[in-house]
Structure 1
Amino acid sequence: MKAFPRDLPFLIGTVVVLLMACAAALAPVLYPGNPLFSVAPPMQPPGGAYPLGTDHTGRDLAAMLVWGTRVSLLFAFGAAGISLLCGVVLGALSGYFGGIIDDVMSRFFEIFDVIPRLFLIILVVALFGSHLWLTVMIVGLTMWPSNARIMRAQVLTLKKRGYAQAAVVSGASHLSVLFGHIVPNGIGPVTANSTLQMAYAVLTEAGLSFLGLSDPNVASWGQVLYWGQGFISSAPWMVVFPGVAIAMLLLSFHLVGSSLQARLNPRLQKAII
């Protein structure tokens, strides 16, 4: 932690994410009411009462982008959290018990990892609807294999350490040794990878919204892009501002994730030193 204050990319990414989190938290105060039902003069350029302009139906872009921050951060932390939980549990069990359990679960990781994620998400959304929480869960459940492989590799190494062997000899249960001693000491690289997955979750949500497969009852950055694609020449602000917001959040998560990976991944620590 002492090294992070000197890590400029980490600081920049963290500050941007925190600012967006503050905007998401203050959305009901800054723009009360559902921004999808706001009434304003259509196609107003940025400035005055509408700092980011309005769209073709008179909706305030600033309000929709502020409320859309909530959706993007929900996807980022919700999907990455599901991926982290599933990956840690399955990867830890596979690496610790080994044998036939490891063989079966490793094949399961590989089968699940080769399934085209975007097509699977589109199929599930088309079959069961584009409800926000359902989409978050599906996105999270398509990202966990990489976390599982990282956790498995960590457990394979850490279960041979002296403190793990001592815990087994002292009579502690296998699950207690695994989740009480091994996982806490090996979760660092998995956490770093999950931070990078946040960027993928945000991009996936924007892609689904751009394809018209997002929840129609909530405002999101991808939806604004979807609505503005037909007005690029006459109202470019409808695509510029949400595009910049998506790019900034993606870059911020990549900066934070790359810094965490460099600090928490044992394979990369030597390069830093």
Structure 2
Amino acid sequence: MANYAELQKLEPPEQQRQLAALLYWDHLPPEPDRVPVGLEAFLKAAPITNRAAALAVYWQAREQAACVQVLSQQSDRIEELVPPVLELREHPEGPNAMLRLQAARLAVQADLLDAKGALFASQAELMRWSPAGKSQNWWWPETQPQSGGYPTEFTNVQQWERSSRLHQRLALRLPAWEEALANHAAAVIDADAARAIHAQAFAADPLALDGLLAAWEAQTAQTRAFLAALTHFNVAVAAYALAVLPPETSSELLAVALLRGPAAAL
């Protein structure tokens, strides 16, 4: 069954918004040393002169956390393929099928370990901005990124005119980033539908294993590309918001501007 069948009926930006909400919903087991930190609280800890770098670190850590969840899910689903494939042990193609499945299991486990290592590194970078950097508790970014439909209208043009040309170029590129985001979301949903078709074929005949493994690999690759695109989009949004808002904008208002547009912070 397709996980995102209902999302196929939606149009951008609602489609990528709902997909992002599903992918960024935290369902990893709780850890005693993990402390959730929202965007506003994080901005309060970050130096006002280095907010762009701090936000890049925050969204990168958020992406890595979501990536771990995606790979954990893929690993669990591939484990579910083991019993049907084991039933092929007496079939001439059974041993080869079991070897291919084992190779896929090991590959996913390696990817998951790599993702956990990347998440650990991102959290370590995140803790550099913590007032209690030597604390035993590690920050866990909990705010979901902006995922489309970002309003760029801003009435006060004086701050915009004083902003750097780099920031202006990033702002003008936001519509292109949004279009790319919509395309990535559609690719994930299509890959999920294709994976569901291969899952039905596997249920009828476990020898159809290769098609399902390839479909899982494709869906995971498209999902990770979508997560990376979300991070790039939010870094671009941050550049725009920081360009048009006064440097002394409070953490609360900046967090609002990053998620709902600069005009919402006025």
Q: TM-score, normalised by structure 2?
A: 0.31
Task: Select the structure that is richer in helix.
Answer: 1
The higher-RCO structure (CA 8 Å, 6+ apart) is: 2
